[in-house]
Amino acid sequence: MSAQLHDAVEVIRTKRDGGRLSDSMVDWVVAAYTRGDVADEQMSALAMAILLNGMDREEISRWTAAMIASGERMDFSALSRPTADKHSTGGVGDKITLPLAPLVAACGVAVPQLSGRGLGHTGGTLDKLEAIPGWRASLTNDELLAQLEDVGAVVCAAGDGLAPADKKLYALRDVTGTVEAIPLIASSIMSKKIAEGTGALVLDVKVGTGAFMKDEASARELAETMVALGQDAGVHTVALLTDMSTPLGLTAGNGLEVRESVEVLAGGGPADVVELTVALAREMLAGAGRGDVDPAEALADGRAMDVWRRMVAAQGGDPDAPLATARETHVVAAPASGVLTRLDAMAVGLAAWRLGAGRARKEDPVQAAAGVEWHARPGEEVTEGQPLLTLHTDEPERFERALAALDGGVDVAPSGTAYDATPLVLDRIG
């Protein structure tokens, strides 16, 4: 048996003292932690040292590769069409995956979208789709490949085989105050996306009160880091920085967002949701070599809706089944007449979570019908007393804490006040 190359204390000290982890240190510590040979408290110390002292591009690239090597890699080369995927860093009312996956598939590019569940104030794509009666999130690799070939789009849960090191490390970061470390965020996201085997990747990096990254500088740093990781791994990767100060669309909550997504696929829906869906679709198609196809046409002529119905049905869902409606609603009136100048994304996200749309711990259940609907967007005129928000839940005792979350989250200025809208897409990186 060969002698052990490194030990945990040596690796921790190197990063603690501002040093650079060698390739062999990175390979060893990630593999040893995944096996259980490095203890949680040792990896916690290393994660904190990374948070405080950072990593350079080569270190992050090697760390990501080690996470990928901890599990399996998927291979879509046998498919008859190219593949492209999208990852969002999470926001409020961010239902974009639902219309986007069938839209891109309708344009001839397969979309293997491995998604997650919501935690805290940001919603999870799988929770939204599970509001559709019968729909199931778990597919075998064979089912996933067959559906990609037949329908062209899959939204499902990632299997345990992809980057198991990430699953372990993610849970640890959550309880040790190291979630914010950009090298660890970037490698967590990109290890799963690269292992997934997609040919092109578009990142939607959110900025603002309702986003994980509150300021543009850190969002830009995260986006640039992830784009570099994708390029280093040979995946065509671009990122859009998008605004998340105001929630997307007109709804936040699982079934509510499915309903809105279907409206977008039917050629309607809120303008911002349509704008971002089409912008991301264009990037995905260009990355997969199909930049000559206009996704706006596939949205308008119903082709994307056809793929949506087939995609839902392929995973056991009934696209025609009525969505659950909440047993209780509560209307919040506009506090004054004038121009709505602010609807804070974080306030809305917290309210939706407290109404039952989200969870505090991974094992918590969510309500399919809970959430928040808003009847005006910033820049629009409102009249004092008109319905501004409708809160939905099955448990009326939740209203009080949801209303507390919304307190201070709405501003109305006198009529005629100029409103400068922030562009939805702030920048493109890559």
Catalytic residue ranges: 87, 166, 173, 188, 192
Total length of the chain: 430
DSSP, res 29: H
Judge contact between 113 and 61, C-beta under 8 A.
no
Query: What amino acid is encoded at 216 in this protein?
Result: E
| Angle formed at CA 98 by CA 97 and CA 103, multiple of 5 degrees | 85
State phi, psi for 81 to the nearest 5 degrees. -140, 160
H/E element, 349: helix 345-352
Exposure on the CB side of residue 23, measured as CA atoms within 13 A: 4
133: left (phi > 0), else alpha (psi -120 to 50), else beta? beta
Tokens of 91: 């926001």
Query: What amino acid is encoded at 157 in this protein?
Result: A
| Residues forming beta bridges with residue 371, ordered by sequence position | 392
* DSSP annotation string for 294-362: -HHHHHHTSHHHHHHHHHHHHTT--TTSPPP--SEEEEEEPSSSEEEEEE-HHHHHHHHIIIIIS-SST
DSSP, res 213: B
- Exposed e or buried b for every residue in 281-305, given b needs 16+ CB within 10 A? bbbbbbbbebeebebeebbeeebbb
Tokens of 98: 């639902």
DSSP, res 353: I
Judge contact between 112 and 75, C-beta under 8 A.
no
* DSSP annotation string for 269-298: S-HHHHHHHHHHHHHHHHHTT-TTS-HHHH
Cα separation, 226 vs 158, in Å, equals 19
Q: Is 128 helix (H, G, I), strand (E, B) or coil?
A: helix
Query: What amino acid is encoded at 218 in this protein?
Result: S
Across the beta sheet with 371-374, the strand order is 251-252, 371-374, 387-393, 328-333
3-state helix, strand, coil in the chain (%, to 5): 45, 15, 40
Name the residue among 63, 53, 79 with its Cα closest to residue 190.
63
